[in-house]
């Protein structure tokens, strides 16, 4: 995939994402039961050009190896380009880690008694016995194992072009994962990446309202409906739930 193709694909992806995610989700939360605790941060000695959002946060669910995969993967799903920062800079990996420490990620509100039909048509919804925590834990291990078999390296160690090719294999279900279908893991990762890029910053993602500014979304403003039908860009900066302004 060329650089121009990557940029165009990202722009199309972001443009379409807002039509797929409800406005309430963008302004409030990306997953049921997501905790509102303040993110844990430590002092960071980032060099110029490095991402504070990606480096300062210390994951509490993912292991260092899993964290390396997650950061590398989200960075390719929404890469930084001439339009602005990408998923890594927006703190998407932090958003996913924090979501993994919620009852939602443990499947607390899910019916998990079966029968389970992994080969059922997609319109029937999720049909596996795995909760989100298990999908990530098993999926990341399978992704790195498959990458080692194909290239002799973990996913995070691959160059960007090979990472893109690998993600496409996962998306198409062409990678052989033992614990779950690779396309199921990819779908969860992609959905959470979009959520983390467009959620309210209170949930750990969308740092500095990067996602909202990119697409011109007003955030948690009380009233902006009079601008919806106008064929002009919204003139005011987004506002978060906490009242922060971009």
Summarised one tens digit per residue, pLDDT across range 122-131 is 777 777 889 9
pLDDT in tens, 67-107: 999 999 999 999 999 999 999 999 999 999 999 999 999 99
120 inside domain? no
Query: Does residue 237 form part of some domain?
Result: no
Question: For residues 86 and 235, which has the higher predicted lDDT (pLDDT)?
Answer: 86
Q: Model pTM greater than 0.85?
A: no
CA-CA distance, 135 to 125, in Å (whole number)? 15
Question: What sections of 28-179 are H helices per DSSP?
Answer: 52-56, 64-77, 92-99, 132-151, 160-171
Q: Which of 11-15, 81-85, 220-224 has the highest mean pLDDT?
A: 81-85
d(CA 106, CA 13): 29
21 part of a folded domain: yes
What pLDDT, on the 0 to 100 scale, is given for residue 47? 41
- Please confirm whether the linkage preceding 115 is cis (ω < 30° from 0): yes
Please state, for a pLDDT cut of 90, what percent of the chain lies above it. Answer: 54
**DSSP classification of residue 40:** P
Mean pLDDT score of the chain, rounded to an integer? 82
133 in a structural domain: yes
pLDDT over 90 at 195, yes or no: yes
* Mean pLDDT, residues 220-224 taken together: 81
Does position 218 have pLDDT exceeding 60, yes or no?
yes
Q: Which domain holds residue 8?
A: 3-40+53-109+128-227
> 121 lies in a domain?
no
Tell me if 73 is assigned to some domain. Answer: yes
Q: How many CB atoms lie within 10 A of CB 105?
A: 21
At 31, is the secondary structure helix, strand, or coil? coil
Residue 235 located in a structural domain: no
Residues 27, 219: Cα–Cα separation, whole Å: 5
CB 39 within 8 A of CB 94: yes
Structurally, the chain folds into a number of domains equal to 1
Overall size of the chain counted in residues: 246
Q: What is the rounded CA–CA span in Å between residue 187 and residue 57?
A: 25
Residue 26 counted as domain residue: yes
Which is more confidently placed, 39 or 111?
111
Q: How confident is the model at residue 9 (pLDDT cuts 50, 70, 90)?
A: low
Question: Mean pLDDT throughout 3-9?
Answer: 57
Residue 242: what pLDDT? Answer: 87
Q: How far is 217 from 15, CA to CA, in rounded Å? A: 11
């Amino acid at each position: 995939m060329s650089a121009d193709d990557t940029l165009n694909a990202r722009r199309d992806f972001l443009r379409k994402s807002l039509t797929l995610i409800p406005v309430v989700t963008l302004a409030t939360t990306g997953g049921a039961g997501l905790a509102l605790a303040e993110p844990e941060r430590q002092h960071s000695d980032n060099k110029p050009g490095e991402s504070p959002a990606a480096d300062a946060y210390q994951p509490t669910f993912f292991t260092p190896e899993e964290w390396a995969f997650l950061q590398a993967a989200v960075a390719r799903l929404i890469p930084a380009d001439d339009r602005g920062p990408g998923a890594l800079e927006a703190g998407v990996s932090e958003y996913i880690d924090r979501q993994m420490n919620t009852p939602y990620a443990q499947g607390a509100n899910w019916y998990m008694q079966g029968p389970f039909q992994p080969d059922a048509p997609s319109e029937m919804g999720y049909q596996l016995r795995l909760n989100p925590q298990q999908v990530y834990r098993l999926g990341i291990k399978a992704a790195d194992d498959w990458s080692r078999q194909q290239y002799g390296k973990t996913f995070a160690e691959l160059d960007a072009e090979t990472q893109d090719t690998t993600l496409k294999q996962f998306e198409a279900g062409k990678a052989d994962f033992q614990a779950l279908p690779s396309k199921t893991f990819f779908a969860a990762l992609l959905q959470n990446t979009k959520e983390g890029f467009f959620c309210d910053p209170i949930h750990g993602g969308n740092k500095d309202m990067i996602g909202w500014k990119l697409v011109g979304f007003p955030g948690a403003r009380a009233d902006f409906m009079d601008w919806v039908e106008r064929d002009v860009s919204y003139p005011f900066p987004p506002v978060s739930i906490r009242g922060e302004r971009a």
